[in-house]
Every structure is written in C-alpha cells, then in structure tokens.
C-alpha cells in the first residue's frame, strides 16, 4: 500500500488540475502540447487515488481544501488532527471495494465452474480446458512461454500478450499462485480459461490502477513451451 503522504500529494495535485470545473472536463480546452501534458498529469495522478472512488461532492470538498491551502486562506479544519484520518479513509475504502469485488467475483467463479470440461480445485481456481495439449506439463520450477489475455469481472482487458503480439516467458514459481497451479495442469500446446479467485491473484491489495482490491481475474492462456 502506498504511504499516506503520497496519497495526500496526489489528491492535492489532482484537485488542482480540476479546481475550476470539478464536474465538467469538457470545459477544458487542450490546444497546445503543454496543455495536453498538463492534462495527462491529472490522469496519471488520478490513478493513485482511484481507491477513494470520490463522488462529485467528495471531490468538491477535496478541491476546496486544496484551494484554501494554495491561496493561504484560513483552514476550515485542524490539518494536524485530520491528516492521520486520510490513511483511515484509504483503508476503509479499500476494504469496502474488496468486499464488493469478492462478492461479485464469487458469483463469477460459481458460474464459470458450471461449464463443460471444467475443474474447480481445492484452492478455488476454476480451469476450463479449451484445447488439450500434447506435450509435457511444466513443474513449478520451470520457465514457461505463454500467450494470454487477462480480463476483469466487467470484461475489461488489463493485460494481454496476444494484443502485444509478443509471448511472455517467466519462471512459473514467480507469478501469482493461480498461474503457478493452473499452468501445471496444462500440457504444451494446450489452451485453457483460468478464473482466479482474489486470494490466488492480488488479494485485498489489488494492483492499481486497473485491478481493484479483491478482484477475480480471468485469463485465456495458451501454453506454448517449457523453456530450458
């Protein structure tokens, strides 16, 4: 988890980027390359505070605090008292997001487990054989070469070697536990769909900005080779 001071700075910069129009980005004109660069700073910093999932009203409060600070106006609260509460809010929002993702993700896992040629292991992952391979199965200590396509619960692609048109090679014991287990159940040349429960993927910490805390992940995987 990022340190609170980083989250504080990111919130401040994010607020500064939209203080004039907190609810309508269409009012911003991006004409020059510098304008576009400044706008991109806002997009990049927003990723660091995505866990807060601000409502428009909450974002307005953040912007008001930033504006009072930079204009050296009298604060409406005791900053030393409330600074530590930022971390508390961050943790609470992360826990709430994780609980929602786990609940919705369990429904996805249950549905996936009803498909033909599917196994749900004791660890909770669901693997559906799409095409049987004819080669060897890797061990956890092997390096493997794969093509994969990873999606979130809503179908959004968060990572894909297929879209990059570049297979990935990695030690099987240095990836998320879901992959370590599932790939050992496949044979070279095989294809499978693997649905990973949160505790077998990135858990309650998630992998911001795309993978939320508690997220269930789905991978379409082709095991191309065992390398070395």
- Residue 170 annotated to the active site: no
Residue 26: the pLDDT is 58
Predicted confidence (pLDDT) at residue 167 exceeds the cutoff of 90: yes
Rounded to the nearest 10 degrees, what angle do helices 4-17 and 33-48 cross at? Answer: 140
Residue 91: the pLDDT is 86
Q: Give the count of domains, the chain.
A: 2
Q: Say which CATH number the domain at 150 has.
A: 3.10.50.40
Residue 25: the pLDDT is 59
Do 139 and 223 sit in the same domain of this protein? Answer: yes
User: Of 8, 13, 142, 159, which residue is the catalytic one?
Assistant: 159
- 204: domain range? 104-227
Predicted confidence (pLDDT) at residue 70 exceeds the cutoff of 90: no
Do 165 and 202 sit in the same domain of this protein? Answer: yes
pTM (2 decimals)?
0.70
Residue 24: the pLDDT is 55
Per-residue pLDDT of 21-47, as tens digits, reads: 444 555 678 889 998 898 898 788 777
- Residue 154 annotated to the active site: no
Any domain includes 98: no
- Residue 158 annotated to the active site: yes
Per-residue pLDDT of 143-161, as tens digits, reads: 999 999 999 999 999 999 9
- Residue 176 annotated to the active site: yes
Q: Which residues make Cβ contacts (< 8 Å) with residue 27, sequence separation at least 6?
A: 20, 21
User: Of 13, 158, 162, 225, which residue is the catalytic one?
Assistant: 158
User: Of 176, 210, 220, 225, which residue is the catalytic one?
Assistant: 176
- Residue 8 annotated to the active site: no
User: Of 148, 210, 220, 225, which residue is the catalytic one?
Assistant: 148
Any domain includes 216: yes
Residue 63: the pLDDT is 77
Residue 99: the pLDDT is 85
Per-residue pLDDT of 74-127, as tens digits, reads: 999 998 999 999 889 988 888 888 888 888 889 999 999 999 999 999 999 999
Any domain includes 81: no
- Residue 159 annotated to the active site: yes
What's the pLDDT band for 9 if we cut at 50, 70, 90? very low
């Amino acid at each position: 988890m990022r340190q609170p001071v980083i989250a504080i700075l990111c919130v401040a910069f994010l607020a500064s980027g939209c203080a004039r129009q907190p609810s309508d980005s269409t009012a911003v004109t991006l004409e020059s390359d510098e304008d576009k660069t400044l706008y991109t700073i806002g997009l990049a910093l927003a990723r660091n505070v995505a866990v807060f999932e601000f409502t428009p009203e909450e974002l307005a409060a953040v912007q008001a605090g930033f504006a009072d600070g930079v204009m050296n106006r009298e604060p409406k609260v005791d900053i030393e008292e409330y600074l530590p509460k930022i971390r508390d809010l961050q943790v609470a929002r992360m826990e709430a997001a994780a609980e929602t993702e786990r609940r919705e993700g369990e429904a996805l896992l249950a549905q996936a487990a009803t498909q033909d040629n599917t196994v749900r292991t004791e660890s909770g992952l669901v693997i559906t054989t799409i095409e049987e391979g004819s080669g060897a199965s890797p061990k956890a200590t092997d390096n493997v070469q794969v093509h994969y396509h990873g999606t979130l619960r809503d179908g959004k692609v968060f990572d894909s070697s297929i879209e990059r048109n570049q297979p990935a090679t990695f030690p099987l014991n240095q990836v998320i536990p879901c992959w370590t287990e599932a790939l050992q159940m496949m044979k070279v040349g095989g294809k499978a769909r693997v649905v990973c429960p949160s505790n077998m993927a990135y858990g309650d910490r998630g992998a911001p900005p795309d993978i939320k805390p508690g997220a269930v992940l789905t991978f379409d995987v082709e095991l191309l080779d065992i390398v070395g």
